[in-house]
Structure formats: structure tokens, C-alpha cells
Structure 1
Amino acid sequence: MIFHKAYKFRIYPNKKQMELINKTIGCSRFVFNFFLAKQKEKDAFWYICEEMVQNGQLPTNNLKGKYFNKKEIIKTLPELKKQYEFLKEVDSIALQKSVENLVDSYDRYYKKQNKTISI
């Protein structure tokens, strides 16, 4: 018989640490939503162009490629930090991880969509 052990830890942050934790969560949420909005704009523009192709106003629609490229998005984070100063207050690894979570969730969503479509 195999037994699995688990340990639970409880932290008690002081006010300064709690403020930093809340800032990190907020900034991660901001970065996630920022790049998700960019992708939604790109998708909306693609659908408009696709309608124009169907109506004969455009010959082809070559706008839709790979949805997210994690490395390219992470490279744009320093530019985003220049634009939004509050992102400099938190750890950059947390922001990069929120981008990774977004890319992973988008990939899993579209893989699931493709499986349901092909059946």
C-alpha cells in the first residue's frame, strides 16, 4: 500500500509583505488581461476580414497565424513596464508566469476546440 504525505504551511505576512503580495496579484491579473485583450482584438479583426473575403471585398485573409508566442510576449514586458510604472514594483517572474498561464490556457482551449470540430 502506498501512502502519500502532504504538508500544509501557513504564512503570517506583515503589512508590508501583504501589500506586496496584493500588488503582485493585481499586476499579474493586469498583464494577463492586457494580452488577452490584444488577442481578442486580433481575433475580432480577423473575423471582420473573413467576412470581407466572403463578400468578395478582399482576395484572401492571411492575418490569422499562431495565437500567442510566449517568447515574443515576454520580450514586450519591459516596454509595458515603461508604459505602466506600477508594473516595476513587482517581481518580473510573476508577470512572466501570468503570460505563460495565458498562453497555456489559450493553447488548451483551441486544442479542445479542434478536437470537438474534427469529430
Structure 2
Amino acid sequence: MLKAYKFRLYPTKSQQEYFVKTFGCVRFVYNKMLEERIRLYEDSKLNPDAKQKLPTPAKYKPEFPFLREVDSLSLANAQMDLNKAYNNFFRDPSVGFPKFKSKHNARASYTTNNLKGSIRIEDRKVKLPKIGFVKLKQHRPFDGVIKSATVSMTKTSKFFIS
């Protein structure tokens, strides 16, 4: 059974900067891939998933070196989110075409996956890839295996992990 826990994070200033940079990079990659998919769709007038060369986050790294500074799994999850939104649209057009992500959205977030213990909770701190340990308010004991983690920020600059 899958279960989600949500805890409040208390990152340092440099960790906050990293989170904001990651939110921006994830949004940037999502929008770039959506832009390219729209172009591919208009060029072919077919479902772009029909064995066409679809963009990946790695394609943008040589052109935009700031993408190398953030967790690659967060960029890969942005690609998976776009694929899911695109497939939902083609399955049921009433869902609506995928929209570009806005910088001024109510909640910025990114998701990363746990590979070989890259995400773990120890001593009221959570270890995240490329950033290390971040303090958190653990209001209940955690039980189970961590599959992935989503870091989010509210408009009031409060950080959470689930």
C-alpha cells in the first residue's frame, strides 16, 4: 500500500536558492518540451507519440548549462508529467491540451526519485540528491520505503516535502 507523508522543511538560505533554481529549471524544461511537441504536432498533424523523435531534458543541457546544476531526476519527472498530460489529452480531448507552466503559479514544486538511498530521513533531517541534509519538522514517525519525494513551496516561501 502506498502512503504519503507531508512534512515542513526548514532549509538554509543556500538550500532555498537551490530549491528555487530547481523549480525554475523544471518549469523551463517542461515549457521547452511542450513548445517542441506543439511544433512537432503542427508539422505532422499526427499524434507526436507515433514513433517521432521526442525531446528529452538531456537535449537541452549543452545549450543551457544551468540545467546541469539541478537534480537530473527532477527534469526527467517533468518530462514524464508532460507525457502524461499529452496522453490524457489524446485519450480524452475534454481534459484539455497541456498548458505552459507559469512562474507565478500558486505552488512551485519538483519531484525526484529515490535511487540507492539518495532520499532518506535521519535525525529530523531529510537527505535529498545534490543538496544534502535539510532540516524538517517530523510530526509523526515515518514507516516504510521512500519511492519518491516532492518538494514544494507556497507563495509565502514555506517549503514542504511529501
Which of the pair is proportionally richer in strand?
Answer: 2
User: 1:51-70: per-residue Cα shift (whole Å, max 9, x none)?
Assistant: xxxxxxxxxxxxx244377x
Q: What TM-score does the superposition give when structure 1 sets the normalisation length?
A: 0.65
Aligned residue pairs total 91
Shift of the 43–65 alpha-carbon distance from structure 1 to 2, 3 Å rule, reads closer
Q: CA deviation at 1:109?
A: 1.3
Letter in 2 for 1:43: Y
Give the superposed CA RMSD. Answer: 2.6
User: What corresponds to 1:67 in structure 2?
Assistant: 49
**Cα distance in 2, alignment partners of residues 80 and 86 from structure 1:** 10
Which structure 1 residue ranges, 5 or more long, are not aligned? 48-63, 115-119
Output aligned runs, 1:29-108, within 5 Å.
Answer: 29-47=27-45, 64-67=46-49, 73-74=55-56, 77-108=57-88
Q: What TM-score does the superposition give when structure 2 sets the normalisation length?
A: 0.49
Q: CA deviation at 1:7?
A: 5.1
Q: CA deviation at 1:90?
A: 0.3
Quick check: 2:30–2:79 contact (8 Å CA) kept in 1?
Answer: yes
Paired-residue identity, %: 34
- Report the structure number with the largest CA radius of gyration: 1
Which structure 2 residue ranges, 5 or more long, are not aligned? 95-162
User: What corresponds to 2:18 in structure 1?
Assistant: 20
